[in-house]
Structures are given as C-alpha cells and as structure tokens.
Amino acid sequence: MRAAVCGYPIAHSLSPALHRAAYAALGLHGWQYDLLEVDEQRLPALVASLDAGWAGLSLTMPLKQAVVPLVDEVSDFARAVGAVNTVVVTPRGAGAGVHLRAENTDVHGIVAALAEAGAVRVGSGAVVGGGATARSALVALLRAGCPRPVAVVRSPGRAGELREVAARLGGEVDVRGWAELPSALDAEVVVSTVPAGASEDVAAALTAHPGPHPLLLDVVYAPWPTPLARRWDGPVVGGFEMLLHQGAAQVELMTGHRAPLAEMREAGLAALRARASA
C-alpha cells in the first residue's frame, strides 16, 4: 500500500518520518509513504490517479481547500471546519474503482497538543492568521470550551470564512485587525498559524505587550524556533506536537490500526535533531 504527503513547498515535511515509523511499529511491511511536491495545478491529475494501491494522502498548503471538489465525499466535520488535510482511499469493489473521502485531523492535532500542555479547557483564546490552519485552530478552541475566540487577521473584511465556521459549530468569533494584535495576547491560549517568514511581525507585537505571556502554540515546526517562539516570555508548544497528533489520526484513518504514538514521536524528534546538526 502507498500513501504520501503533498504540498508546495514540501521538502521540509516531517510526515514521512512519522508515518514510516508507524508502519514499521505496526508491522505493515510493504507499505510506503512518500513526499510529493504538488501544487494546485498538479493536484487534479494526482487525485485522478489514485487507485486501490493507495491508502491515502496527507495534504498541506496550498491544497487544503483545492482538493474539496476533487473527492467523492467530504466528512461532515471537515466540511464544517472548511479545511481538509487528509484523503482516505477505500476500494469500492472488484473493478469498481475507489472512493475518496476528505477528512480534517488538524483540529485533533491542535486539541491534543494543547491538552498535553495542560490546556484541556480554554476560557479565552486567540488565533493569529486567517487561512485553513487558522480555521482548524478556531474550531479547536471552540471544542476546548472557549466561548468566543479572537481571530487576528491582516484583512478583517476577508474574515467571512472564519465567521461562517464558528457559526456552523454554534459559536462566535471576534475578528480583529492586525493593529489589535497586542491586545489579543491577553488570552489564556494564543495559536499562531502564520508562516515562519511572517513570525517576526507577530513577535514585534510583544514589544507593546511585555510578558509574562500565556501559552503559545506556534504551528510552525521547521525552521524552529521561530522568531515568535524565541521572544515569547511564557510556555511554548511547537508545531511538532500538532503534526504528531494529526499524523497519528491520519495513520488510524488510513490503516485501521491504533497509531503507535511513542514510536512516531521518537522518529520525529530524531529527524528534527538530525536536521539541527546537519
């Protein structure tokens, strides 16, 4: 069986280390997990080529919405979140092709990463960014009991999708512009979903909001630490923990086996150490 992580760019991804470690621990000999550089233009051809020899795809940017019209089914939860990071391939039967179901495991990854840091229930939370991962972070905060998360975005007028996601799940979101970022850092939990290159902009807001700061989950794991993580005067959870838990959920969806979390964590951390020493 075959699976792969797809995105553009994709060379930085640690997903192969995690999934391959899971296959080895589960005794799934003959299973392989590849890394495929795929942009929005190449995605339709890849999806159309999936057959019974495939278990599924892991998707990262910029494919989390582009894949939606290409699959047979989007789970109710993924549709509510408005973002997909997993495609599960299921054979229909002899000669009948395959069924492609889109799922979201990012929310699980964020919830689990926050829970490991002690944030099982969140009274107030803020999400920095407005993309697909920000929507998953918003849902994760709502699931953790946050009644009205704050979303800080560069263009509040384009935050309609965040509002729609919250409404579909029976919640609300307080959308604020970038200039209001310092005040959002008063939340109990802050989730930064901005790329590594934009992390410095968020870190600059700390000047106007001196520490100590609450819990930060920075979804970036490469390069690590980000400028924001380095300057944060408080507890920090890196994106590796989110990646680990969302990857474990993908392993379970694609293989039908319980994910070997300890082995996956060990392999991922080893890969990060190897990168740091290279």
Mean pLDDT throughout 232-239?
Answer: 94
What CA–CA distance (Å, rounded) separates 128 from 130? 7
128 assigned to some structural domain: yes
27 pLDDT band, cuts 50/70/90, is: very high
110 assigned to some structural domain: no
Mean pLDDT throughout 81-87?
Answer: 95
Q: Are residues 257 and 225 in the same domain?
A: no
User: What is the rounded average pLDDT for all residues in the chain?
Assistant: 94
Mean pLDDT throughout 174-178?
Answer: 94
Q: Are residues 215 and 255 in the same domain?
A: no
Structural domain count of the chain: 2
Q: Are residues 35 and 135 in the same domain?
A: no
44 pLDDT band, cuts 50/70/90, is: very high
Q: Are residues 124 and 229 in the same domain?
A: yes
Q: What is the CATH number of the domain that holds 271?
A: 3.40.50.10860
| pLDDT at residue 278 greater than cutoff 80 | no
95 assigned to some structural domain: yes
What CA–CA distance (Å, rounded) separates 178 from 153? 6
Which pair of structure tokens corresponds to residue 33? Answer: 């997990």
Instruction: Kindly provide the residue ranges of all beta strands, DSSP E only, lying in 129-234, ordered along the sequence.
Output: 150-153, 174-177, 189-192, 215-218
| pLDDT at residue 95 greater than cutoff 80 | no
35 pLDDT band, cuts 50/70/90, is: very high
213 pLDDT band, cuts 50/70/90, is: confident
Which pLDDT score is estimated for 94? 73
Please name the residues in contact with 14: beta carbons below 8 A apart, sequence gap of 6 or more: 221, 222, 240, 243, 268, 271, 272
Which pLDDT score is estimated for 209? 77
Spatial contact of 135 and 81, defined as CB atoms under 8 Å apart: yes
Q: What is the set of active-site residues?
A: 64
Full domain range(s) for residue 259: 2-104+241-277
Which pLDDT score is estimated for 240? 97
35 assigned to some structural domain: yes
Which pLDDT score is estimated for 156? 83
Cα atoms in the 13 Å half-sphere on the side-chain side of 38: 22
210 assigned to some structural domain: yes
| pLDDT at residue 276 greater than cutoff 90 | no
109 assigned to some structural domain: no
Q: Are residues 228 and 127 in the same domain?
A: yes
Q: Look at residues 256, 263, 191, 247 and name the one whose alpha carbon lies nearest to residue 59.
A: 247
127 pLDDT band, cuts 50/70/90, is: very high
Mean pLDDT throughout 171-175?
Answer: 95
What CA–CA distance (Å, rounded) separates 74 from 65? 11
Return the higher-pLDDT residue of 88 and 212. Answer: 88
Which pLDDT score is estimated for 142? 97
111 assigned to some structural domain: no
| pLDDT at residue 96 greater than cutoff 90 | no
Which pLDDT score is estimated for 84? 95
Q: Are residues 217 and 146 in the same domain?
A: yes
Q: Are residues 256 and 199 in the same domain?
A: no
| pLDDT at residue 177 greater than cutoff 90 | yes
207 pLDDT band, cuts 50/70/90, is: confident
Q: Are residues 56 and 12 in the same domain?
A: yes
Which pLDDT score is estimated for 183? 87
Q: Are residues 96 and 151 in the same domain?
A: no
| pLDDT at residue 235 greater than cutoff 90 | yes
Last residue of a domain, one of 202, 219, 234: 234
113 assigned to some structural domain: no
Percent of the chain with pLDDT over 90: 82
Q: What is the CATH number of the domain that holds 176?
A: 3.40.50.720
Q: Are residues 176 and 249 in the same domain?
A: no
Which pLDDT score is estimated for 93? 76
Q: Look at residues 238, 239, 190 and name the one whose alpha carbon lies nearest to residue 211.
A: 190
pTM attached to this predicted model: 0.94
Return the higher-pLDDT residue of 195 and 138. Answer: 138
Q: Are residues 142 and 221 in the same domain?
A: yes
Q: Are residues 80 and 53 in the same domain?
A: yes
